[in-house]
Each structure stands twice: as C-alpha cells, then as structure tokens.
Homo-oligomer: A and B are copies of this chain.
Amino acid sequence: MAQLTSRIKEAREASLVLAALDTGTKNNALKAMAAALDGNRERILEANRKDVSAAEEMSRRGEMPASLVKRLKVDDEKISGMVAGIEDVTRLEDPVGETMSALKLDEGLTLYQVKCPIGMLGVIFESRPDVVPQILSLCLKSGNGVAFKGGSEASNSNRVLFDVLTEAAYSAGVPRGAFVLMETREDIGAILGMHGDIDLLIPRGSNEFVRYIQENTRIPVLGHSAGICHVYVDDEADMDIALAVTLDSKVQYPAVCNAAETLLVNSKIAGGFLPMMAKLFKESGVEMRVDARAKAFVPKDVAIVDAKDEDWDAEYNDMVISIAVVDSLDEAIGFINRHGSHHTDAIVTRDGGRQSEFVRRVDSADVFVNASTRFSDGFRYGKGAEVGISTNKVHSRGPVGMEGLMIYKYVLIGNGQVVKDYVGKDAKRFLHQRTDERYGG
C-alpha cells in the first residue's frame, strides 16, 4: 500500500511533465502504443486465456454470469478494435494550450485563459479489458496522469495490456511512471484518501459501487450512481411519436442508465394513448407497474401490476416500467425533479411553449424533446470517446468526453506591470478589451 501511495505521488510529479508535452510527442507515443498492441497480440491473447479459463470455471460453478465471461474474452478482432480506438484518439485535436478567452487588461498586459489538463486522475472501471487502451490513450492525449483499476476478473489481461502500452509510451518520451495500474480492492481504499494527490475520480460500475466511492472520499467524483429517466407524454403529443419514443426509451436496451424507468401521461390523452402503449409494451414483454389512474386505461387483456410507492424511485434496468397519470405539465416537471436522478428526461409534445418550459425547468443533465432518452451517450453526442455520464452540477454534466479531463489556467503576460499603479489617486485604468489573440507560449 505504501508502495502504491508513493507510486501515485511519483505519477503526480510525472503528470506535471506530461502536461507540458507537445502534441507531436504525444501523437508519436500514441502511435507507438498502437504498434505495440499490434505487435504483442500473442502475449495479450495468452494472458486473456488465463482470465477467461478462470472465469469459465467460475461460471460453471454458477459464480459468474455467462454474459460476463463473453465480455471478458479478447480475440484478434478485439485487439484490432483497440488499435483503431487508439488511432481515433490520436486524431482528436490536442486540447492542451487552447486559448479559451483573451482580455487586454492594459497596453502590454494581456490575460489569457488557457486550457490545461486537470492533473492526476483516478479511474476505476469494473469492466472489460478494452477499457485499458481507451483510458490510457485519452489520458495521454489530454496530458493527465492516471491511476487505473479495471475489473479483477480481467487482471491478467489488464496487466499485460497496461505493460505493453505504457512501455511503448515511456519509450516514446512520455514521462516514466505517469500511469499506475491498481490491482486490488485495497488499492481503491488507499486512493480514496489521496486528495491533494489525485484531482478527480472517475468510477464506473454498479450504482452501489459508485455511491460507495462518492460517500468515502473528499476527491471530486465524476459520474452518476443512478439513471432514473422519464418520458412525459403531453396532451399535445403526436401519438405516433409518443408511442415510438416511449417504446425505444424503454426497450431498445433496458439494462443501461439512459433507458426510461417511468412513463408519465397527461390525463387529457391517457384514454387515447395508454391502451395503444400498453399493447406495445405487452408485445415487447415489458412489465407495467401502474398507478390507479393509469390502470383504468389499460385494456383488460393486458397484465399489469399495481405500482407501490417505491416504484417511482426505482431503477429497474430491466423490461419493467412504472406508469403514472398527471394532470399538467407542471405536475410532470415536479414529479421528474422529485423522483428522477437528474440524468435524462424527455417530453413528447408539439407545443413549443411547453417544450421550452420542460427544458428550462427539468433539472437534469440531458433534457430531450420528441426523442428517445437512449440518445444520451458520448458516442451519439459525437464526443469521439466517452469518459462517463455525469449527473454532477459542477464541472461536467451529461455524457463527458475528453473535454471533461481538462481545466484551465489564467496566464498573464506583462512587461513589468505592478498593481500599485492601478490603485489610489491617478490610478491607471484597466482597458478590459476582449481580443482574439491566442496565447502562443
């Protein structure tokens, strides 16, 4: 543990050098990493076979779902996918050094707001080996050091991938030690106390896992612990759109955080909409948990369940949906802000005024009009790479790409100016002129 702590402190030092690397060096390192993956296929596959056979053994004993074993498996095609992923990151524009704004304070005194890496990240993903090259390449391109922990069931694969990639990067000029692999649960416990050394934690995994991280560290945490998304069907909704958007939001991939868990229907159209929607849900095998008012509109031949209070705060991640009838847009907005997880919520309506009221008042990272909640995703948002989805109210919100790994510094370039000249009698006045000048240093 002491060793992990000191490796992370070294990584923090190295990250300060990494932050200042030029784009060419970083891209060359990324190319070296892609080539190293390509050139070490047998070594990677061999390590992965160990993980997979251990997982298969667990699966036979009923200790691991078959789907997890499948996701764990790396083959030649997956390695090629990892190589392509690194090449994608290589092509992303280097955000470091970008001038976000510039202000002429006075003649010869210009203030630049310049984008820079956050510094040292802690990334904890309970997941498949593909994530190792993805995280390392993103951190390198954005100039951040990282302490990374992947899923324990992939530990052999993760170790080899990490070694192959970091050796290539270090040989190409990346400061040695900027990337740290964590391998045990105890490692996670240790880094939670390292505020001051780690600037941002990015956990991905079960809701319980993310909540545990959030509740046990003073380091800022980027992410979300729940995805309770709503679709509200307004009385001015187009019926075809309402049916299609609601169905897609629920059934297109119910296991994920941006799938809908609750459907709210305006009472004025519940009689027209709910019977059709209930039939579609029935055909798709969706269990409906309905309040008393919604129940009245479901055809007798469709099986339903009476919703309990806890259903309005439940994230099913499954083919289950809770349904309530509301009397107004105002009631729907209040319901969503109270029961939702501030992730993604959609309204279906043709009325422009209600669209914008919903958008302005729903307190969620992603607020959609006449579109499926399932669009809430870094790839669909065109981010190139997704770091996670945030329900935080500061820094980054919604799907987060490389931009979420960046902050800025203020750079003031003068030629000897002192504050004394700008105060008191005969004080010089500030110009405060916006300028398009870029910081060139």
Set B17, B382, B440: member contacting A430, Cβ < 8 A: B382
Q: List 13 A-B contacts (CB under 8 A).
A: A97-B360, A119-B363, A218-B218, A244-B416, A248-B418, A248-B420, A368-B413, A371-B414, A380-B430, A382-B432, A394-B407, A398-B408, A398-B410
In the bound complex, how far is the Cα of B241 from the Cα of A374, in angstroms? 58
In the bound complex, how far is the Cα of B361 from the Cα of A116, in angstroms? 10
Whether a CB of chain B sits under 8 angstroms from the CB of A194 is no
In the bound complex, how far is the Cα of B50 from the Cα of A414, in angstroms? 47
Set B16, B114, B253, B359: member contacting A411, Cβ < 8 A: B359
Minimum CB distance partner of A363 in chain B? B16
Query: How many of these chains are in the complex?
Result: 2
Set B245, B368, B422: member contacting A380, Cβ < 8 A: B422
Set B240, B252, B337, B409: member contacting A420, Cβ < 8 A: B252
- Kindly specify which of A67-75, A87-95, A350-358 makes contact with the partner chain: A350-358
**Nearest chain B CB to A260 CB, angstrom units:** 12
Are B369 and A412 in contact, CB atoms less than 8 angstroms apart?
Answer: yes
- Kindly specify which of A76-84, A103-111, A165-173, A313-321 makes contact with the partner chain: A103-111
Are A409 and B105 in contact, CB atoms less than 8 angstroms apart?
Answer: no
Whether a CB of chain B sits under 8 angstroms from the CB of A255 is no
Are A375 and B419 in contact, CB atoms less than 8 angstroms apart?
Answer: yes
Set B17, B360, B399: member contacting A19, Cβ < 8 A: B360
Chain B neighbourhood of A116, CB < 8 A: 360
Are B360 and A20 in contact, CB atoms less than 8 angstroms apart?
Answer: yes
The 6 closest A-B pairs by CB, nearest first: A356-B441, A371-B414, A248-B418, A382-B432, A241-B416, A374-B419
Chain B neighbourhood of A130, CB < 8 A: none
Number of interface residues of A (CB under 8 A): 81
**Nearest chain B CB to A124 CB, angstrom units:** 17
Are B413 and A370 in contact, CB atoms less than 8 angstroms apart?
Answer: yes
Chain B neighbourhood of A356, CB < 8 A: 440-441
Chain B neighbourhood of A111, CB < 8 A: 381-382
Which residues 408-441 of A have a CB within 8 angstroms of B?
408-420, 422-423, 430, 432, 439-441
Whether a CB of chain B sits under 8 angstroms from the CB of A364 is yes
Q: A20-B360, A218-B214, A375-B105 are in contact. Are A411 and B380 (CB under 8 A)?
A: no
Set B119, B359, B430, B441: member contacting A355, Cβ < 8 A: B441
**Nearest chain B CB to A258 CB, angstrom units:** 9
Whether a CB of chain B sits under 8 angstroms from the CB of A42 is no
Which residues 365-413 of A have a CB within 8 angstroms of B?
365-372, 374-376, 380-382, 392-395, 397-399, 407-413
Are B252 and A372 in contact, CB atoms less than 8 angstroms apart?
Answer: no
Q: A359-B411, A359-B439, A367-B410 are in contact. List 15 more A-B contacts (CB 8 A).
A: A17-B361, A105-B381, A118-B393, A119-B363, A220-B220, A241-B415, A245-B417, A247-B418, A253-B419, A355-B441, A364-B409, A368-B414, A369-B411, A375-B414, A376-B412
Minimum CB distance partner of A247 in chain B? B418
**Nearest chain B CB to A304 CB, angstrom units:** 24
Minimum CB distance partner of A220 in chain B? B394
Chain B neighbourhood of A46, CB < 8 A: none
Are B441 and A359 in contact, CB atoms less than 8 angstroms apart?
Answer: yes
Are A370 and B105 in contact, CB atoms less than 8 angstroms apart?
Answer: no
Task: Name, among A395, A411, A412, the residue most crowded by chain B CB atoms within 10 Å (CB to CB).
Answer: A412
In the bound complex, how far is the Cα of B398 from the Cα of A200, in angstroms? 18
Are A418 and B245 in contact, CB atoms less than 8 angstroms apart?
Answer: yes
In the bound complex, how far is the Cα of B109 from the Cα of A376, in angstroms? 13
Are A409 and B398 in contact, CB atoms less than 8 angstroms apart?
Answer: yes
Whether a CB of chain B sits under 8 angstroms from the CB of A199 is yes
Whether a CB of chain B sits under 8 angstroms from the CB of A186 is no
Q: A360-B19, A416-B245 are in contact. Are A409 and B397 (CB under 8 A)?
A: yes
